[in-house]
Amino acid sequence: MSKDYYKILGVDKGTTKEEIKKSFRKLAHEYHPDKKTGNEDKFKEINEAYQVLGDDNKRKQYDQYGADFEQQGGFGGGMNWNDFMNKARSGDFENFSSQGGSTWSEDGIDLGDIFGDIFGFGGGRSRGRSRTMRGNDIQVSVELEFREAIFGVEKEIRLTKNNVCSVCSGSGAESGAGTETCSDCRGQGQIKRVQQTILGAMQSVVTCQRCQGSGQIPKKVCKHCSGKGVVHSDSKYKVKIPAGISDGEMIRLSEKGESAGVGSNPGDLYVRVHVKSENGFERQGFDIFTAINISYPQAVLGDKVEINTLEGKKNLIIPEGTISGQKFKLKGLGVPRLQRSGKGDQYVTVIIDVPKKISKKVKKILEELKGEL
């Protein structure tokens, strides 16, 4: 039985192209497999319908012959489903369109625009604009003392990586030599390629590798970097470690990663923090846990004892009748809350020491007390 593509998209036969696109976008949001409400079979069906109704020529053929015309090769087929989903999830639809001579043809189906907001890669780039290359991100580690992580510290990071050439400032050209139009892309910064798929002829636009999308190449290349605009060299950065950072957390230094050469933007540098432990202190989130040993008489009679905190020595009041394992909270003596105001608390666990050996005198006193307790 012939498929009713208009019914599948929930539109009438006389609906405008913009309304068809709007309806497809809504249904794609609802049914695409990466969502909780997703239905892959349904998504395939609405995609098939849009590939026909979203294209003026195919829609005209469909209105005249119906969906059965596809079986005779009239629609030119569609993209392989696995390829379709892989491109959608990777954002590769930005560079694709249906046949029509231009990547952003009026008659073409702008898949980058349709799927950009669904799959999160942000389609709809302006006509003719090339994608700027980006250097690699880098991750390094820094080791902190326990209290450096608590109170914050400044560290110096040293590493060797691909950096912008300091002589030509990343242009790849000798100073004063000037540039000329790239012969590979004729100054466009992009090269168009046509690929035959079961959707028909699909056109992609890729960044020109020779000029890296700039459309210009140096008349005389920089001797220091051989025209690449990048050199492998040492770098050092001062990193401010915020108070309260936890073990394993990372700090991002924007555009401090590697350069990819002429016409590129640097990647980012990520600094992963590893925090050493400190005897007597245990951290859980923004709270600090410590323990203190007291004698049996102190537990029974109560006392004032000195304890260690992150802010130095403090006095802790032990009330009468304290039992072993009892915890006391010292408010605000914990870890500064990262990117928030205030601090966590310190919890002190009391451990009562019971001597293994006692004198005859002490033993006699305890035996006398046994009957009274």
- Does 302 appear as a known binding residue? no
Separation of alpha carbons 100 and 110, rounded Å: 11
Q: Which helix (H) or strand (E) covers residue 342, if one does? A: none
Residues 6+ apart with CB under 8 A from 316: 292, 304, 305, 306, 307, 328, 330, 348
Separation of alpha carbons 14 and 59, rounded Å: 11
Residue 127 carries which side chain, given as an amino acid letter?
Answer: R
- Does 225 appear as a known binding residue? yes
Q: What torsion do the CA atoms of 33, 35, 37, 42 make, to the nearest 10 degrees? A: -20
Q: How many CB atoms lie within 10 A of CB 41?
A: 8
User: Under DSSP, is residue 67 helix (H, G, I), strand (E, B) or coil?
Assistant: helix
- Does 168 appear as a known binding residue? yes
**Residue 282 token pair:** 């245990």
Separation of alpha carbons 50 and 69, rounded Å: 16
Q: Which helix (H) or strand (E) covers residue 41, if one does? A: helix 40-53
- Does 132 appear as a known binding residue? no
CA atoms within 13 A on the CB side of 213: 16
Separation of alpha carbons 131 and 222, rounded Å: 24
- Does 150 appear as a known binding residue? no
Residue 54: Cβ-neighbour burial (10 angstroms; 0-12, 13-18, 19+): buried
Separation of alpha carbons 359 and 9, rounded Å: 93
Asked if residues 132 and 262 have their Cβ atoms less than 8 Å apart, the reply is: no
**Residue 103 token pair:** 């990547």
| 50 backbone dihedrals φ, ψ, rounded to 5° | -70, -35
User: Under DSSP, is residue 60 helix (H, G, I), strand (E, B) or coil?
Assistant: helix
Residues at the binding site for Zn(2+) are 165, 168, 182, 185, 208, 211, 222, 225
Annotated binding residues, as ranges? Answer: 165, 168, 182, 185, 208, 211, 222, 225
